């Protein structure tokens, strides 16, 4: 039987029970849940970014087909970044030309640490990733 979630906000205990009870297609024991939690969080963040990207793409195509946007504006890209804190673990998700930076210290002594990297064509590792993902597509990097 498929469970459904209401629009209400779940407490952390209710959310744990949803995960353990098999809502995501897997029944987890408490130990398995604790071990799998980082993987589940990463998968949820990744899925959210893919879904948002798909939504923006579809919206752009509709706007182009109805004459509201030029083709160039439709493929111009987007960027998004978010941070999620789970107890003592900080998760960063980003896409596009944006970067998360952690700033610590005092007014007199501030330290900066990059927590993510930009996804653009000025980043050699991003170029390599795109070329590996699209080996037969010369138009990927334009």
pTM confidence score: 0.60
Residue 54 pLDDT greater than 80, yes or no: yes
Which tens digits make up the pLDDT trace of 55-77?
A: 888 888 888 888 888 887 777 77
Percent pLDDT > 70 in the chain is: 75
- Which helix H or strand E contains 113, and what residues bound it? strand 110-114
Q: In the predicted model, is pLDDT for residue 35 greater than 80? A: no
Q: What is the pLDDT of residue 122?
A: 83
Distance CA 142, CA 130 (A): 12
């Amino acid at each position: 039987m498929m469970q459904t979630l209401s629009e209400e906000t779940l407490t952390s205990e209710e959310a744990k029970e949803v995960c353990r009870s098999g809502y995501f297609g897997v029944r987890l024991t408490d130990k398995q849940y604790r071990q799998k939690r980082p993987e589940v969080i990463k998968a949820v963040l990744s899925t959210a970014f893919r879904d948002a990207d798909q939504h923006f793409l579809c919206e752009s195509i509709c706007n182009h087909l109805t004459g509201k946007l030029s083709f160039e504006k439709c493929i111009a890209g987007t960027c998004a970044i978010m941070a999620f804190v789970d107890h003592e673990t900080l998760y960063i998700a980003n896409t596009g030309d944006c970067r998360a930076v952690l700033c610590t210290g005092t007014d007199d002594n501030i330290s900066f640490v990059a927590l993510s990297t930009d996804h653009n064509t000025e980043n050699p590792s991003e170029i390599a990733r795109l070329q590996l993902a699209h080996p037969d597509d010369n138009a990927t990097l334009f």
